[in-house]
A and B are shown apart, each in its own frame.
Chain A
Amino acid sequence: MTTAASVYAQGLVKKFGELRAVDGIDLEVRQGEIFGVLGPNGAGKTTMLKMLATLLPIDAGQARVFGVDVAREPHRVRQLLGVTGQYASVDEDLTATENLWLFGRLQGLRSADARAIANQLLAQFGLEEAANKPISQFSGGMRRRLDLAASLITKPPLIFLDEPTTGLDPRTRGQMWDTIRGLVADGCTILLTTQYLDEADQLADRIAVIDHGRKVAEGTPDELKTSVGNSTLQLELAPGADHDLAQQVVWRVVGREPVLTPESGRMNVPLETADAAGDVLIGLRRAGVPIGAVSVAKPTLDEVFLTLTGHDTGDADEQGEAARDESYLEVR
């Protein structure tokens, strides 16, 4: 049993009417790792997570959590994982202590034990001062922390985090990252979804990129980034410049095709190192291609997407709205 993957999924499918929100995803999360699921809004990340967490029925394919079948034994699976959703799933009408006490009681703790664990978790998450305040007075970061604390009451070996830092300010986000790393250091396995490449980069041991309900890439953060280059030279050619010539120069200098962006006259050149930017610019000067503007940036999620899927994240977003609306209806 110890060798069973934390999460194993094969050919996972979820349909909302005509839309295949999750369209045949395979997944294997090893024990003790942080596995990141990266994708734009509506790519199917949350739907997939909900299926694995027994919150949505699986339309096709199969999933196992530590070897336990999700569809056949949902009650056992629920005892093995903690879920922290995109929106804080704590009770607004109760205080922080009362929330944790209730969740502890519901999971079979005696009243005194539930209270002790509640206090301990509040202290660990720096929420003691707010322990008896109504949740409505909590900041976004405090809610997320309380939400995560609520998932840890029974110390489950697997934790699902659905966009744990969306909407948090950079400092609070950094704190959340540290907390997540701490959990893994203590033996947890974490499956997290995110729309931020840097978050996946900072946290995840391995990443799966999801788009339109399909897995388009999987690998370590380094593998993914080198697939689009470590940095990107963003070039804007001056009006009237010869685009074909510019592309040839880029190909000669860095050995890669530049990625043309939707705005005319702009191209992104993936680079192994930022240094190579100078070589490209010198090459263009020698070939007589005039340049309007230049910048060097780390690859963004948009670029990973552009490279992996041939469309940018905004495209998937529209369909995503539809998908979310559908899933909203489904919950009714």
Chain B
Amino acid sequence: MSTATTADASQGIRVRTSVVDPATAVARARPHVSIGETVSQTFSMAWRALKKMRRNPEQFFDVTLQPLLFTAMFAYIFGGAISGKVSSYLPLLIPGIVAQTVLTTCMSTGVQLREDMEKGVFDRFKALPIARIAPLAGPMMADLVRYLIAASLTFVMGVIIGYRPGGGALGVLGAIVLAIFTGWSIAWIFTFIGTLARNARSVQGISMLILFPLTFLSNAFVPVSTLPRALADFVKVNPVSHLVSASRDLANLGVISGEVGWTVLAGLVVIAIFAPLSVYSYKRHI
């Protein structure tokens, strides 16, 4: 490329850039984005999201404070009532809190996407010849860091107040990986809401409405046997219950149970439905 520049304030800025010949450019223009390009573009978008996270550390408040606070709070408030003493409640509670914090983190994925989409830079993303899924999947990849922090911190806090996972380090690691995967897949639901809603606040509102029943109408904090029949039936089919049970099996017993299978399956189903829906909705709103 031949390039010469004269930057002179009084004359303005002269830019010399040899331009691609239109015929060549047309011949070179490809009709579709390849899978390889899509992956690379998603990684570039993830890089952008990570940079933003590092520059706005207040974004980490929810994934750091919430696990610490909720673990201690729930343990000391409900521990005695539900399990007799705090230490025997912890094996029940910690996997529940992991599921809860990971779900809350999902919600902020949607909220932040909505906020981001209002910025001018999204106009450019739309005008660039890039895969439509990249601006959505990129930030979600970066959010894996947040799920990792949220899940790990919950276990750390648990251990500090007396939790001794029977599944050992490997079991806990398995539970964390499962929580991250589930969080990531469920985040597609909130990404979809993010592309639909009018603004970030309404994303928050709608998400809360979905999130609260899902987390509290599960076995996350109480044994299912204590619930009335109708409620128990819902709790048993709630995917959050499966995640919680699977995490308990992994962290407390070191067992990869059928619950793990159900959780992974539910995650895959959610991705299969909501990833295409999100891309479709994002495209339509361009």
Interface residues of A (CB under 8 A from B): 1-2, 4, 6, 31, 53-56, 66-68, 73, 75-80, 83, 85, 87-94, 98, 102-103, 105-108, 120, 123-126, 145, 150, 152, 154-158, 174-179, 182-183, 185-189, 331-332
B13, A178: Cβ atoms closer than 8 Å: yes
Tell which of B16-24, B160-168, B177-185, B262-270 binds the partner: B16-24
Q: How far is the CB of A63 from chain B (nearest CB, A)?
A: 15
- Give me the 5 closest cross-chain CB pairs, A-B, nearest first: A175-B12, A178-B12, A78-B129, A89-B124, A76-B29
Question: What are the residues of chain A within 8 A of B124 when measuring CB–CB?
Answer: 83, 85, 89-90, 103, 150
B44, A187: Cβ atoms closer than 8 Å: no
In the complex formed, the residue of B with least CB distance to A158 is B22
A187, B121: Cβ atoms closer than 8 Å: no
| A157-B21, A188-B19 known, 5 other contacts, Cβ within 8 Å | A76-B31, A89-B121, A89-B124, A94-B52, A126-B13
> Size band of the B side of the interface?
35 or more
A106, B130: Cβ atoms closer than 8 Å: yes
Q: Which of A76, A155, A176 contacts B30 (CB 8 A)?
A: A76
Which of B27, B51, B129, B134 has the most C-beta atoms of chain A within 10 angstroms of its own C-beta?
B129
- Give the distance in Å from the alpha carbon of A89 to the alpha carbon of B37 in the complex: 23
- Give the distance in Å from the alpha carbon of A28 to the alpha carbon of B16 in the complex: 26
5 intermolecular pairs with C-beta atoms under 8 Å apart: A68-B29, A91-B119, A93-B52, A179-B12, A189-B22
Question: What are the residues of chain A within 8 A of B199 when measuring CB–CB?
Answer: 332
B37, A108: Cβ atoms closer than 8 Å: yes
Q: Which of A53, A75, A126 contacts B7 (CB 8 A)?
A: A126
Question: What are the residues of chain B within 8 A of A152 when measuring CB–CB?
Answer: 15, 17
Q: Which of B26, B52, B55, B121 contacts A67 (CB 8 A)?
A: B26
Q: Please judge, given known A-B contacts A66-B22, A79-B28, A94-B48, whether A124 and B13 are in contact too, CB under 8 Å.
A: yes
Question: What are the residues of chain B within 8 A of A106 when measuring CB–CB?
Answer: 41, 44-45, 125, 128, 130, 134
Q: How far is the CB of B271 from chain A (nearest CB, A)?
A: 23
Question: What are the residues of chain B within 8 A of A105 when measuring CB–CB?
Answer: 40-41, 44, 47
Q: How far is the CB of A53 from chain B (nearest CB, A)?
A: 6
Q: Please judge, given known A-B contacts A103-B128, A107-B130, A155-B20, whether A68 and B119 are in contact too, CB under 8 Å.
A: no
In the complex formed, the residue of B with least CB distance to A2 is B23
Which B residues, 25 to 57, have Cβ-Cβ distances below 8 Å to chain A? 25-33, 37, 40-41, 44-45, 47-48, 51-52, 55-56
Interface secondary structure of B, over-half rule: mixed
- Give the distance in Å from the alpha carbon of A157 to the alpha carbon of B29 in the complex: 12
Question: What are the residues of chain A within 8 A of B198 when measuring CB–CB?
Answer: 332
Question: What are the residues of chain A within 8 A of B25 when measuring CB–CB?
Answer: 66, 79-80, 156-157
B14, A182: Cβ atoms closer than 8 Å: yes
Interface secondary structure of A, over-half rule: loop
Q: How far is the CB of A136 from chain B (nearest CB, A)?
A: 11
Question: What are the residues of chain B within 8 A of A187 when measuring CB–CB?
Answer: 18-19, 21
- Give the distance in Å from the alpha carbon of A78 to the alpha carbon of B51 in the complex: 26
Q: Please judge, given known A-B contacts A54-B127, A92-B119, A106-B128, whether A80 and B17 are in contact too, CB under 8 Å.
A: no
Q: B126 in the interface, Cβ–Cβ < 8 Å?
A: yes
Question: What are the residues of chain A within 8 A of B127 when measuring CB–CB?
Answer: 53-55, 78, 83, 89
- Give the distance in Å from the alpha carbon of A158 to the alpha carbon of B29 in the complex: 13
Q: How far is the CB of B6 from chain A (nearest CB, A)?
A: 9
B32, A75: Cβ atoms closer than 8 Å: yes
Q: Which of A6, A79, A89, A91 contacts B29 (CB 8 A)?
A: A79
Q: Please judge, given known A-B contacts A105-B40, A124-B13, A157-B21, whether A87 and B120 are in contact too, CB under 8 Å.
A: yes
B13, A1: Cβ atoms closer than 8 Å: no
Q: B11 in the interface, Cβ–Cβ < 8 Å?
A: yes
Question: What are the residues of chain A within 8 A of B27 when measuring CB–CB?
Answer: 1
Q: How far is the CB of B139 from chain A (nearest CB, A)?
A: 12
Q: B5 in the interface, Cβ–Cβ < 8 Å?
A: yes
- Give the distance in Å from the alpha carbon of A269 to the alpha carbon of B55 in the complex: 60
Q: B229 in the interface, Cβ–Cβ < 8 Å?
A: no
Question: What are the residues of chain B within 8 A of A124 when measuring CB–CB?
Answer: 3, 5, 7, 13, 15-17
A68, B14: Cβ atoms closer than 8 Å: no
B285, A331: Cβ atoms closer than 8 Å: yes
Q: How far is the CB of B71 from chain A (nearest CB, A)?
A: 32
B128, A78: Cβ atoms closer than 8 Å: yes
Q: Which of B14, B56, B123, B129 contacts A79 (CB 8 A)?
A: B129
Q: How far is the CB of B275 from chain A (nearest CB, A)?
A: 19
B32, A80: Cβ atoms closer than 8 Å: no
Q: How far is the CB of B137 from chain A (nearest CB, A)?
A: 13
A91, B48: Cβ atoms closer than 8 Å: yes
A157, B15: Cβ atoms closer than 8 Å: no
In the complex formed, the residue of A with least CB distance to B198 is A332
Q: How far is the CB of A62 from chain B (nearest CB, A)?
A: 17
- Give the distance in Å from the alpha carbon of A56 to the alpha carbon of B198 in the complex: 18
Q: How far is the CB of A133 from chain B (nearest CB, A)?
A: 13
- Give the distance in Å from the alpha carbon of A299 to the alpha carbon of B40 in the complex: 53
B26, A1: Cβ atoms closer than 8 Å: yes
Question: What are the residues of chain A within 8 A of B5 when measuring CB–CB?
Answer: 123-124
B11, A90: Cβ atoms closer than 8 Å: no
